[in-house]
């Protein structure tokens, strides 16, 4: 049995299906997304339907899902990409999505690795980590920078490797691996780069090319009054 851990999908449904096929997953294998299933890409609803209600397909809570939740509870506001998704989904399905987001964990500890969407604070037990740190919210990233003054992934000191998404840290659309200890696998699929997954237990990296700079097209469409995407 193997597990495919996928970086930020952001509504890139076609690339997700291609990556799963490339990984050769079978019915006994597991698919785990690191969060940010939705927003920016053209297939947020399809991505959600791919994961919702499937025991072997699950996701962590990303900062984008968290923003949807906070706005739903009137504790925050939606950014442009979240407003687009809310407009695209039916009212009933958006409510289902919110209920699904409520179930998503902040982290997952597997036998081989610790999975988070955003960041980890050093020397703090997983169950005591701040939600805004684990999801990579701006407040969490500011807290880490103010307190430690260097990137969180340089401070990872546990025995188990950490796999995270949230940013294309390499700035090149390729995964960034720090001393075989931290695997940063958001590779900017919604910006026209790649969708990357990590196959466990072998720590084999696989990627597929994005079909378009979806978020660039969406933003251009917003300026011209159209939300059309390929």
- CATH assignment at residue 80: 3.60.21.10
**DSSP per residue, the chain:** --EEEE---TT-HHHHHHHHHHHT--TTSEEEE-S--SSSSS-HHHHHHHHTT-TTEEEPPPHHHHHHHHHHTTSS---HHHHHHHHHS-HHHHHHHHHHHHH--SEEE-SS-EEESS---TT--GGGS-HHHHTT-HHHHHHHHHHHSS-GGGS--SSS-EEE-SS-TTSSSS-EEETTTEEE----GGGTSEEEEEEETTTEEEEEE-SS-HHHHHHHHHHHT-----
Instruction: Give the per-residue pLDDT at 43.
Output: 96
Q: How confident is the model at residue 225 (pLDDT cuts 50, 70, 90)?
A: very low
Instruction: Give the per-residue pLDDT at 188.
Output: 96
* CA–CA dist 69, 101 (Å, integer): 7
The verdict on residue 161 lying in a domain is: yes
**DSSP per residue, 190-228:** GGTSEEEEEEETTTEEEEEE-SS-HHHHHHHHHHHT---
Q: What percent of the chain has pLDDT over 90?
A: 86
Q: How confident is the model at residue 60 (pLDDT cuts 50, 70, 90)?
A: very high
Tokens for 102, please give them: 């409520």
Instruction: Give the per-residue pLDDT at 224.
Output: 39
Question: Taking all residues of the chain, what is their mean pLDDT, rounded to a whole number?
Answer: 93
The verdict on residue 229 lying in a domain is: no
Res 121 pLDDT > 80: yes
The verdict on residue 230 lying in a domain is: no
* CA–CA dist 120, 93 (Å, integer): 32
* Region 33-57 average pLDDT: 95
Only one residue has tokens 């979240």, namely 82
* CA–CA dist 95, 112 (Å, integer): 34
Other CB atoms within 10 Å distance of the CB of residue 108 = 18
The model's pLDDT over 138-175, given as tens digits with 9 standing for 90+, comes to: 999 999 999 999 999 999 988 899 999 999 999 889 99
Res 25 pLDDT > 60: yes
* CA–CA dist 182, 166 (Å, integer): 13
pLDDT-wise least confident of 108-117, 158-167, 212-221: 212-221
The verdict on residue 88 lying in a domain is: yes
Res 89 pLDDT > 90: yes
Q: How confident is the model at residue 226 (pLDDT cuts 50, 70, 90)?
A: very low
The total domain count for the chain is 1
Nearest CA to 134 out of 35, 51, 3 is that of 35
Instruction: Give the per-residue pLDDT at 115.
Output: 98
State which residues form the domain around 88.
Answer: 3-224
* Region 175-188 average pLDDT: 96
pLDDT-wise least confident of 16-25, 118-127, 220-229: 220-229
Taking only Cα atoms into account, the Rg of the chain, rounded to an integer number of angstroms, comes to 17
Instruction: Give the per-residue pLDDT at 222.
Output: 53
* CA–CA dist 10, 39 (Å, integer): 5
* Region 74-102 average pLDDT: 94
């Amino acid at each position: 049995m193997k597990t495919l851990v996928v970086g930020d999908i952001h509504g890139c449904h076609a690339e997700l299906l291609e990556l799963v096929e490339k990984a050769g997953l079978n019915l006994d294998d597991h698919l785990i997304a690191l969060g940010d299933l939705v927003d920016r890409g053209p297939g947020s609803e399809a991505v959600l339907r791919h994961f919702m209600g499937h025991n072997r397909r699950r996701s962590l809570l990303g900062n984008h899902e968290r923003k949807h939740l906070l706005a739903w509870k009137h504790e925050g506001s939606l950014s442009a990409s979240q407003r687009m998704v809310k407009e695209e989904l039916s009212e009933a399905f958006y409510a289902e999505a919110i209920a699904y987001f409520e179930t998503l964990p902040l982290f997952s500890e597997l036998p081989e690795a610790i999975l988070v969407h955003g960041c980890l604070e050093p020397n703090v037990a997983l169950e005591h980590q701040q939600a805004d740190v684990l999801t990579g919210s701006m407040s969490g990233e500011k807290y880490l920078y103010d307190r430690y003054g260097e990137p969180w992934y340089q401070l990872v000191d546990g025995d188990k490797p950490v796999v995270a998404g949230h940013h294309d840290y390499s700035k090149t659309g390729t995964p960034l691996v720090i001393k075989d200890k931290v695997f940063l696998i958001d590779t900017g699929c919604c910006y026209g780069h790649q969708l990357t997954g990590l196959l466990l237990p072998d720590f084999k990296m696989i990627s597929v090319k994005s079909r378009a700079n979806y978020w660039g097209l969406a933003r251009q469409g917003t300026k011209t009054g159209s939300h059309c995407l390929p």
